[in-house]
Amino acid sequence: MSVESDNMRGTVSTARSRPAVLRHVPYFIAAAVLVMLAASMQFDGYVLNILLQATTFSIAVFGVSVVLGLCGQINLAQAAFFGLGAYAVGLGTTDLQMSYWLCLVAGCLVAIVAGAFLGMSTLRLGGHYLAMVTISFQQIMTLVMINAIWLTHGPDGVSRIGRPSLFASSQSYLAFCVAALAIVGYIVWHLPDTKLGRAMRAVRDNELAAGVNGIDIFKTKVYAFAICAMLGGLAGGLFAGGFAYVSPDQFSFAESIVFLTMSLLGGVASPIGSVIGTGLLILIPEWLRFLKSVPGLYLAIYGLFVILIIRFMPEGIWGFVTAGFDRWRTKTKAPPAVKPLQLKPATTGGDIVLEVKGLSKHFGGLKAVDSVDIAVRRGGVHALIGPNGSGKTTTLNVLSGLYKATSGTILLDGTDITNMPPHQRTAAGLGRTFQNIRLFRSMTALENVEIGAERSGNTMIGTGGHAALTERAMEALTFVGLGNRANELITSFSYGHQRLIEIARALAANPTLLLLDEPAAGLNSTEKLELHELLKRIAAQGLTILIIDHDMTLVSEAAQHITVLNFGRRIADGESMAVLRHPDVVSAYLGSE
Amino acid sequence: MDLVLQLLFTGIGIGAVYALVALGFVLIFRATNVVNFAQGEFSMVAAYLMVVFAVDLGWPYWLSFLIALAGMALLGMIFNLGVYYPLRHRSYLPVIIATIGASILLANSVLAIYGPQPQVLQGWFETPGIQLGPVYLDSQYLLIIAVTIALVIFNYWFFEHTLLGKKLQATSQDKEMASLLGISVSTMIMITFIYSAVLGGLAGILVAPILFVSIQMGSTIALKAFAATIIGGFGDVAGAIIGGLALGVIETFGAAYISVPYKDGFAFLVLVAFLIFRPQGIFGERVAEKA
Amino acid sequence: MSLTRRDFAAGIVAGLAAPSIITSARAQASTIKIGMCAPVTGPAAESGGYAIKGAKLALDAVNKAGGILGKQAELIVEDDQTTNPGIVLAFSKLAAQSDIVAFLGSIRSTQVHAMAPDVLKLGKPVMIGGTDPNLTHMGNQWLFRFRPNDSYSGRVIAEYGVNTLGKKKWAILHSTDAFGTAGGKALSAALEKLGSPAVLDQGYANQSQDFTPVVLAIKQSGADILGSYFTFENDLGIFARQLRQLGVNIPWVGSPSIVNITALKLAGPALYNTYGVADYAEDSSEASKAFGKAYREVAKVAPDNQSSWTYDAINVLAAAINKAGSTEPGKIREAILAIKKFPGAEGEYNFDQNGDGLHGYNIVKNDKGNIAFDKHIEFTD
């Protein structure tokens, strides 16, 4: 998907300066040619109908590609949103005698509201719930379309739907739809490179990491869902005008599955893929009509192909085509950072950056963390250690907001963050890494770090333009020694390097406090040395660090202050050497009789 | 009152059907964390197998029944190898979509072979039902309720008191730990798919005499059964049963006292209400993800 | 990038254009072509098969008798997938073949509604079987109906129940799909007119798995006769069995699906002694008997309305074109409208200016699984 965008990023300094409209002139020329073709070529009714169907369906499939491809959420009710738009135009232009344009806008609005409401009620839950709720919504919509005869005309459907007088002929209406397709396609094509688009991709790749990198997961999902619904509504409105007749069976669950399959077939993450998938799934049934002499045979083959595509072409046709292109692209070197990374943590609060008081986390009867106090001094490296199962990682998860504290308070730079969701804590100045690395795996190293840099409240990115983001991200990557591989996909990095990228992602956000969750885990001895050096360089810039690790050498050398947990309780706290010699600590680690 | 009793019986009967199919959903979900959208088609295929053997070939009912269940076991095996297993390391999304593909494939393959006309399958009993005071009890529904109760007991015994059952449970709770204990995770998942296909098939065969044998018989039941699993709490066997029964009763009474045409909507409204107000279901599933 | 996009789009256009070029190349034909949209796939695929057989049967007879305007007639079938978008595509595909002179549309009213705008645009005659009365009353002069419309079925059911069976307390049960809703409305209006409005008017959604609440509602309403519009046979079968199980044995007059072969097979004894309106009843006339005999020989199943209306449509169409002496659409239209007292399998065709050919129904009785012709009720208004 991000093919083009990354190329552009590769040549950041030159291309960025030209306005986007200029850079995309070829696209608009091509689109204009298509529109002219649609308006001028002589099609017979059959071809016209097919083109009209393909064009409007493509726009609906764009919606699916946003929600499924970009944000990783399933929507099995796109036909219902499509139907909302279609009925808005259908009923508006016939029963209410309203202007077509007004109806089209109304349809989009109704779809957005429905989509956002549906999303808000369920997007906090996992994927299979969403699948079910969207199916339910789809079924209820179908029932309403059929049974609310006073409103929808019931199963008879709505006929003689109006069109704008400007596009009264089928040919000109088709041209209008193609133009709409081109515009929506342009927007969807560039969506991944916007802040919202990056947030969606981050949510798709790794929800937890997205949250702790300052992305409001819930809001992002709701936006994705609303956009998907809106495109469904728009497409439905265009469809209704084109075919002049709508009825409930055109917007059934089966149609939702068709939209989903179109998106998958072409390539779920790309508008081009959407168009290919839509076109093929409209054309193939037409070409394969001969297969239909045996009822079911065609659909059986169709079902089989869905399985095969998922199995062998997970990125769809377009993804398959562009895979080779992708490999070439990642070879392009990114320009090195101009200046070294600067970490300028906020210094508004007092001497204590993080103050944890009486923090508890209970899972049912299990007291994983029990009234723990921690005070992290500004500019220092503070270690949190303890044997396995002592509650270290739970503490960190409560601190970063992945778990809700059972009791106690957490103050970050004097701000009470105890009840904030992860992204707000990040905005407040918290950064973290994970023991089991959580990077956005479908993105390049640079994109990963850019998402970190983009956190709200980051003072190091100026007004937050893309150039500033890229610059900041390059600085962070260069800082950890991976600047020259910025455009490579995460999957091509070694485990140790992935950990460095995760640290760079946290650093780019310019946090007030950096939480490192077992950064040395899984590293070999050379990598551990490098990590050690890196920590020193970070600390040298005055960034406060709270580190969890098992590696005593690392901890004792890097940290000035240590807090020790055992069975969820704090058993020791103080200056490093003193704590490590503390008898309780020794017995906790070595075991007592 | 007579009316209420009659509706209650029918509601429980229909609910037991949902519960049977829901059971298959839950078992697969617990073992693989995947929702199998082709579960309803398992029921449909089994019913058609019965038609092939018991009706078309005229073999004894019990023999056809055993063959049909054996066929379902085979289908479960093929389904696992062809649909789930190659995708087991990917996220839930591709798997959901692949199972949707499988459901289209199964439904339409049967359509291609057998044609669209619904078929008749006789029930187990000669007597269609008994009149108990003011309430008419359909014998097939009685059978379905009995089988559901028996299966609840069997499942309890199987999962709590047999080694295989415990191994299956261990696998569904923590695959890594299970494999460290020397349990073959892929074998356990295979067994789960086989068992759940057989269960789905059983539901299909039991319900066929009431609903007739048709291509879409499975998908309509499966959607409701799926709702039942969520209402009961995903991943909980008892929850699936209670959810199924509750849904059947709600639907029947909703149709009688509110609206017949919107009958199918009640299930989904209840479902959405549950998702908003009690997403963990009646019995509760751990919703939080581990960090 | 943009190049790829343009190439791709051009490819699509070329791919799309190709079939139409091929079709226009074949346009010089020596046969008279009749297009037919039929459900080869989808939920109605079974009845689609019957419809095609019925049409082919008539076509063979027409060709044996010398064809149309001296040429052999040819039927070109397109699958409408039993869906509305499906029939729109199927029809536009047929419409693109300029040498097709007339078409057979669908037996499903929503599908006819869906294709109607395209029919109007094309301006060639289309024979339809959809029974929604509106279809021939919405200013589309190219639709010609070969089954009595639902206003007649409703009136016939009401007339038979009230005047022949002498029952006044009606319960109406209908599917909430287009067909069922229109039928229910017609029946309700007809009863209103006869002075015995229904005591219960109940809709149900297709593919219901249980009808207990409906049966109990009928029981409680105190109705002494039931009129029904069912769409799918399995719904009808489930309902019929539950109705009898719960002890409701009032007379029952149903829409054509109640005497449909599949319904008889599924419901068995539960449907004994019910009445149905049938546009096709084998014993209702000589023409019906003749069609029944010929159809049985070819199709090996009992004839029904799915096959009889297409059979009649082809016959009437052939007669009209021959009479018009031309395949010019306006002339065919006039010739069809001029057809009077044409004996068809469905009954006697007397086209009115709206394009409705039939104005009455047969009442048949399910006599222990055999469908027996009872009487024909014809309206002249």
- Residue B262 near residue B33 (C-beta atoms within 8 A): no
Mean pLDDT of B6-11: 90
Which alpha helices (DSSP H) does chain C contain, by range? 2-25, 45-64, 84-95, 109-122, 150-159, 178-193, 212-221, 233-245, 261-267, 286-299, 305-324, 329-337
Distance from CA of C106 to the nearest CA of B (A): 18
When CB atoms are compared, the residue of C44, C209, C265 closest to B211 is C209
- Calculate the average pLDDT of chain C: 86
Structure confidence at residue C156 (pLDDT): 92
Q: What tens digit of pLDDT does each residue of B211-268 get?
A: 899 888 888 888 888 888 888 776 677 888 888 999 999 999 988 888 888 887 887 7
Chain C's closest residue to B118, CA to CA, is C234
- Quick one: tokens of C7? 């190439």
> Closest Cα partner for A444 from A484, A398, A391?
A484
pLDDT-based confidence at residue B201 (cuts at 50, 70, 90)? very high
Rounded (5°) CA angle C207-C210-C216? 130
- Quick one: tokens of C366? 């399910």
Mean pLDDT of A545-557: 83
Q: What tens digit of pLDDT does each residue of A487-517 get?
A: 888 888 888 899 999 999 999 988 989 999 9
Give the pairing type, strands B135-138 and B129-132. Answer: antiparallel
Chain A contact set for B96 (CB, 8 A): 74, 127-128, 131
Q: CB contact, 8 Å: B14 with chain C?
A: yes
Structure confidence at residue C19 (pLDDT): 46
ipTM above 0.90, yes or no: no
Of A53-67, B57-71, B175-189, minimum mean pLDDT range: B175-189
CATH number, position B177 = 1.10.3470
Distance between CA A250 and CA A87 in Å, rounded?
A: 11
Q: CB contact, 8 Å: A44 with chain C?
A: yes
Q: CB contact, 8 Å: C218 with chain B?
A: no
pLDDT-based confidence at residue A295 (cuts at 50, 70, 90)? low
Structure confidence at residue C37 (pLDDT): 94
Q: CB contact, 8 Å: C269 with chain B?
A: no
Residue A333 predicted with pLDDT over 70 = no
- Residue A376 near residue A546 (C-beta atoms within 8 A): yes
**A293 or A540, which is more confident:** A540
Q: CB contact, 8 Å: A303 with chain C?
A: no
Chain A's closest residue to C131, CA to CA, is A156
Residue A109 predicted with pLDDT over 90 = yes
For residue C285, give the 3-state DSSP assignment.
coil
Chains touching C (at least 3 CB pairs under 8 A) are A, B
pLDDT-based confidence at residue A132 (cuts at 50, 70, 90)? confident
Mean pLDDT of B87-94: 80
Q: Cβ–Cβ of C44/B3 closer than 8 Å?
A: no
Structure confidence at residue A502 (pLDDT): 92
Chain B contact set for A124 (CB, 8 A): 279
> Closest Cα partner for B208 from B200, C169, A4?
B200
pLDDT-based confidence at residue A60 (cuts at 50, 70, 90)? very high
Residue A31 predicted with pLDDT over 50 = yes
Residue A9 predicted with pLDDT over 60 = no
Structure confidence at residue A257 (pLDDT): 84
Chain B's closest residue to A147, CA to CA, is B261
Share of chain B above pLDDT 90, in %: 28
Q: CB contact, 8 Å: B20 with chain C?
A: no
Structure confidence at residue A7 (pLDDT): 36
Distance from CA of C348 to the nearest CA of B (A): 31
Structure confidence at residue A324 (pLDDT): 67
- Which amino acid, one-letter code, is at C119? V
Structure confidence at residue A147 (pLDDT): 80
For residue A332, give the 3-state DSSP assignment.
coil
Counting every residue written for chain B, the total comes to 291
Residue A173 predicted with pLDDT over 90 = yes
Distance between CA A12 and CA A6 in Å, rounded?
A: 9
Mean pLDDT of A559-576: 87
Place of tokens 């479960």: B76
Q: CB contact, 8 Å: A143 with chain C?
A: yes
The highest-confidence range among A21-35, A566-580, B38-52, by mean pLDDT, is B38-52
Q: CB contact, 8 Å: A254 with chain B?
A: no
Low-confidence ranges of chain C (pLDDT < 70): 1-29, 42-43
Structure confidence at residue A464 (pLDDT): 65
pLDDT-based confidence at residue B284 (cuts at 50, 70, 90)? low
The tally of domains found in chain B comes to 1
Q: What is the DSSP string of B14-60?
A: HHHHHHHHHHHHHHHHHHHS---TTHHHHHHHHHHHHIIIIIIS---
Distance between CA A433 and CA A425 in Å, rounded?
A: 14
pLDDT-based confidence at residue A579 (cuts at 50, 70, 90)? confident
For domain C5-148+282-350, the question of CATH label 2.50.20.10 is answered with no
pLDDT-based confidence at residue A327 (cuts at 50, 70, 90)? low
| Fold observed for domain C150-278+363-378 | Rossmann fold (3.40.50)
CA distances from B23 to A69, B198, B226, B238 (A): 32, 11, 10, 9
For C154, other C-beta atoms within 10 Å of its C-beta total 28
Q: Cβ–Cβ of A286/C89 closer than 8 Å?
A: yes
Of A276-280, A576-580, B275-279, minimum mean pLDDT range: B275-279
Q: Cβ–Cβ of C92/A49 closer than 8 Å?
A: yes
Structure confidence at residue B172 (pLDDT): 78
* Full strand arrangement of the beta sheet holding A513-517: A430-432, A513-517, A544-548, A381-385, A561-566, A569-575
**A56 or A367, which is more confident:** A56
Q: What tens digit of pLDDT does each residue of B168-192 get?
A: 888 877 777 788 788 888 888 899 8
- Quick one: tokens of C111? 């599908």
Structure confidence at residue C101 (pLDDT): 94
Distance between CA A528 and CA C70 in Å, rounded?
A: 94
* Domain span including residue B56: 2-290
Tell which of C202, C210, C261 to mutate to test the B interface (max B CBs under 10 Å).
C210
- Calculate the average pLDDT of chain A: 83
Q: CB contact, 8 Å: C249 with chain B?
A: no
Q: Cβ–Cβ of C3/A147 closer than 8 Å?
A: no
What single DSSP character describes residue A489? B
Distance from CA of C342 to the nearest CA of A (A): 31
When CB atoms are compared, the residue of B115, B128, B252 closest to C210 is B252
Distance from CA of B268 to the nearest CA of C (A): 15
Rounded (5°) CA angle A580-A586-A590? 135
Same CATH fold assignment for domains C5-148+282-350 and C150-278+363-378: yes
Domain ranges across chain C: 5-148+282-350, 150-278+363-378
Place of tokens 């394969």: A288
Structure confidence at residue C281 (pLDDT): 86
